Structure 1
């Protein structure tokens, strides 16, 4: 399920510099035909901690580093994230080179998973993104107040109309994914190809002891969200004073404890061995896990992007992976 993608000369670089970079491997998203750089750039900070200029610079740096997978949602900054991404693709004329994922279900205008809410949400997202289709649509919530049949039929209609290519789940339990697959089979509609779930070095048990097995059986591509534990696994939060320097720092406060420091120490050692950033190693660990297609990560500044992209070109040894497994054991 992997394919070596030859390195191209990048804008602003010499061919010699490009040739010196190691090759990376694209990954398929589940059973779909989508092939992506093994990292999804999240637009969750666009319109919040990243303004128009910052978002453009972040996206440019991501694309110049051969990133092609963008993840957003209709609820991010009340739709502004999609607008910023859409404007960037229009200005760069690169829509066909990008794999765009968005989510529906949490917007103030069209909440929930009723058929009409989904259809209205997708129509609005297509308009904001300035595109004719969404490559990967996530059901952002598991709305148990709505019969799965209604939700799945609505998505299948959108796929039949060419507005959505593939879809996946988010925040769904293993049992609900099984129910969805059975319902899809009974109705003869398109099944999920992907799942987005909370998974990182400090949050392993929920996925590894439940969802991982179901995802493997169903052949779902796994996109870990909170891949850097709200920035803690980048190493920028070492003491409580560091939390005040970032608007999202409070989310990382819960990791400032013995286990968190143990994991950071292991990351520090391995990052030094590879002469790379701590965040790079934390993402490389995820990319070593079965079924993981592309961790979802965000950046508030373009200067943060290269260390995220570098994870695709880092090869951890068996010993290094085992050391991180031990440090983060649950």
Structure 2
């Protein structure tokens, strides 16, 4: 995979980000380490996690993904080969909750300890916190950058107006600003990024690392009926997407492009995202190392105008 700039951050990495939400959920300790090794061996560097991963699993409290990544970093000695991105805002803990200054100060120490590192490469506000003034959040994040605990700041799940406002506040005060955004975006779910958010990203030179690049696995082609997702760990996420009326048309279009390019549907989905203006590195997760091959192939696949039109027409 050929490295590319992460917006104007000065960081570069291959155009694929490994999702760490599965670590401690659908991938156990050994599987997680094997996936991380295979990802780096394939040329990958960007690893995405969050303090809240995977608190939704019965028996988990949050921090499981960071802890497993930290164990892998110590075991592998590959800290200098990767860029670690994690998030704050959804897991209550030291200092309270949300994006208050006290919570941010507590959360960064918790994440650094779990990851076993002295800095976070990209630190995301996981979700906008309207109950906390932007000034309080952004000043607290700026302190982390000045202290050397964070290299680059990011905003995940921010609406365009709030992102614009946050950038203006940072600029007015001379604080470090959000330089990377993480929106929900894929071939099927396009409204969140396309339009105003995309315009801001292009105007401001932001890195864009969209999550759910494969729509929770729907765009892999593995699931063709509701029976296929029954009892699946992701069923609660897949079911509402699967019921969208345009899904059969899109899957058929992806199959056509897959046949004509001799690439998997996974590769087609990744290649489509990388063809979209502003997108730096789609985020996708796997539960087994062998699943990485199709993701990597997607970064090397260039879809021509005809194939892009086939995919777009399916959603028209």
Shared topology, TM-score over 0.5? yes
Is the 2:183–2:192 contact (alpha carbons within 8 Å) kept by the matching residues of 1? no
- Residue 38 of structure 1: aligned partner: 15
SS of alignment partner, residue 207 of structure 1: coil
CA distance in 2, matches of 1:54, 1:216: 37
CA distance in 1, matches of 2:105, 2:281: 27
CA distance in 1, matches of 2:107, 2:189: 31
- Residue 262 of structure 2: aligned partner: 275
- Residue 198 of structure 1: aligned partner: 184
CA distance in 2, matches of 1:155, 1:147: 13
Q: Kindly state the Cα deviation for residue 237 of structure 1 after the two structures are TM-superposed.
A: 0.7
**Alignment partner for residue 65 of structure 1, among 42, 55, 62?**
42
TM-score of the aligned structures, taking structure 1 as reference length: 0.90
CA distance in 1, matches of 2:165, 2:30: 44
Q: Kindly state the Cα deviation for residue 328 of structure 1 after the two structures are TM-superposed.
A: 2.5
Q: Kindly state the Cα deviation for residue 256 of structure 1 after the two structures are TM-superposed.
A: 4.0
Is the 1:238–1:256 contact (alpha carbons within 8 Å) kept by the matching residues of 2? no
- Residue 51 of structure 2: aligned partner: 74
CA distance in 1, matches of 2:3, 2:306: 25
CA distance in 2, matches of 1:105, 1:301: 29
**Alignment partner for residue 185 of structure 1, among 171, 177, 181?**
171
TM-score of the aligned structures, taking structure 2 as reference length: 0.94
Q: Does 1:99 align with 2:86?
A: no
CA distance in 2, matches of 1:52, 1:25: 29
- Residue 53 of structure 1: aligned partner: 30
Calculate the aligned-residue CA RMSD, in Å. 1.2
Is the 1:27–1:38 contact (alpha carbons within 8 Å) kept by the matching residues of 2? yes
Q: CA deviation digits over 1:94-143, x for unaligned, max 9?
A: 10110110000111315211111001101110111111100000000100
Is the 1:239–1:256 contact (alpha carbons within 8 Å) kept by the matching residues of 2? no
- Residue 210 of structure 1: aligned partner: 196
- Residue 3 of structure 1: aligned partner: none
SS of alignment partner, residue 122 of structure 1: helix
SS of alignment partner, residue 206 of structure 1: coil
Q: Kindly state the Cα deviation for residue 245 of structure 1 after the two structures are TM-superposed.
A: 5.4
Q: For structure 1, which runs of at least 5 residues remain unmatched after alignment?
A: 1-23
CA distance in 2, matches of 1:233, 1:138: 26
CA distance in 2, matches of 1:223, 1:81: 19
Is the 2:89–2:125 contact (alpha carbons within 8 Å) kept by the matching residues of 1? yes
Q: Does 1:291 align with 2:278?
A: yes
Once the two structures are superposed, the pairs formed by residues 218-233 of structure 1 within 5 Å of their partners are: 218-233=204-219
CA distance in 2, matches of 1:136, 1:300: 24
Q: Does 1:307 align with 2:294?
A: yes
SS of alignment partner, residue 193 of structure 1: strand
Once the two structures are superposed, the pairs formed by residues 3-152 of structure 1 within 5 Å of their partners are: 24-77=1-54, 78-109=62-93, 110-152=96-138
Is the 2:51–2:91 contact (alpha carbons within 8 Å) kept by the matching residues of 1? yes
Q: Does 1:168 align with 2:148?
A: no
SS of alignment partner, residue 4 of structure 2: strand
Q: Kindly state the Cα deviation for residue 28 of structure 1 after the two structures are TM-superposed.
A: 1.4
